[in-house]
Amino acid sequence: MHARAAWSCISEPGDGTAGLLVAALGAVPALRLVIEAWPHDRVAGELLAVGVEQGTVAAAGIDRALERWRPRLDPVVVTIALRQAARSGARLAIPGDHDWPAGLDDLGAHAPLALWWRGPADALGAFGRSIALVGARAATRYGEHVAMEASAGLVDRGFAIVSGAAYGIDGMAHKAALASGGRTVAFLAGGVDRPYPSGHVDLLERIAGEGAVISELPCGAAPTKWRFLQRNRLIAASSLATIVLEAGWRSGSLNTAGHAATLGRPLGAVPGPVTSPASAGCHRLIREYDAVCVTTAAEMAELVAEHLVQVPLDFPEPENGIEGTGRTSEQVRVFDALSGRSPREIGDLARRAGLSTMSVRAALGALGLEGAARERSTGWVRNA
């Protein structure tokens, strides 16, 4: 368990190479090879020896993975995370535990290596009968009303509500579930001891008291844009179905819908006024991606009751990169790691972003050309 806690500190969410090593060799041996700085050939040989196919090993990018993990090899960081977890009442769940959310295993090598969580002892059992409700942060009154009715109606039918604790649709789904006496689960993009958004501090405390607040990141970890995108795959994988209640054309909730569809989970979308940009994303899901049109809690429950099977869909990345920024995932992670005031050296940025120094240099070059970052004598800073 301590080895998996360490892995949650040195690898970023969804790191497929870390998942491959831990699944093939075990958490402790995999951690040892990083600590002992094994060369690429020796690591590859170990994987081949336990039956991992040569093509999989070649595609794993072991060299770059070792480079991005080693700057984070600090036992003090792991100790601090464990102490903060104890102080905040957080626990650690790992695959194989009785209450581990079984749906997460469908993520394969990209499944979380561990989950940090707060809540009653039996809270994780809620995933056995759960539905994810997601949608826009800038929700309309219509969207909030639909979220309230859907959440309360599903709770009445014995479902737990899974969402991301954001403003708008997520928050309303959680609140309605609690008000209806049901159980709700919130996945965070940072440590469970760092409530985010700050306006939902009280809500997250209520969720932790009656449901569960969960993250694959250790206590003390800060939320970043990259981590929000990775968090969405957990919402989709842990639930029996995902419903998008209100979403703009490029809403982040469409990212969750994409994960649900790729995993073969039932996917539903609530229609809205055809003149409302806030519902354009839902209409897009129905028109282009075969989401089931749902308007009531009863219809949402039918997605699970009838075991509808959806064809996995290939949701394309937005034309302009991640969420229209024009940046690659590595550039987003480096931009997240930059400060607007304090210059940071490349080694520090590599540790914060969970990337190799070579990748950081390349990303900084692109961000510099874009005008989003600039180099000072003591390091790099983010442009306002």
pLDDT digits (tens, 9 = 90+) for 164-173: 999 999 999 9
Question: Whole-angstrom Cα distance, residue 368 to residue 334?
Answer: 12
Which tokens belong to 350? 């590599």
**Angle at Cα 364 formed by Cα 362 and Cα 365, nearest 5°?**
65
* Beta strand extents in 256-311 (DSSP E only): 267-269, 292-293
Q: Helices 329-337 and 225-238: crossing angle, nearest 10°?
A: 120
What size, in residues, is the chain?
Answer: 384
3-class SS at 236?
Answer: helix
To the question of pTM greater than 0.75 for the whole model, the response is yes
Half-sphere exposure of 186 (CA within 13 A, CB side): 37
Q: Which residues contact 336 (CB under 8 A, 6 or more apart)?
A: 224, 225, 226, 352, 353
The single residue listed with the structure tokens 């008000």 is 179
Q: Which residues contact 314 (CB under 8 A, 6 or more apart)?
A: 262
Question: Whole-angstrom Cα distance, residue 304 to residue 241?
Answer: 7
Q: Which residues contact 322 (CB under 8 A, 6 or more apart)?
A: 225, 229, 328, 329, 332
pLDDT in tens, 288-329: 888 999 999 999 999 997 443 343 444 444 444 444 556 787
CA of residue 40 relative to chain centroid, distance: 29
pLDDT at 151: 96
Which residues of the chain fall below pLDDT 50? Answer: 306-323
Contact predicate 72/9, CB 8 Å: yes
pLDDT at 325: 56
**Could you tell me how many helices (H) and strands (E) the chain has, helices first?**
17, 11
3-class SS at 289?
Answer: coil
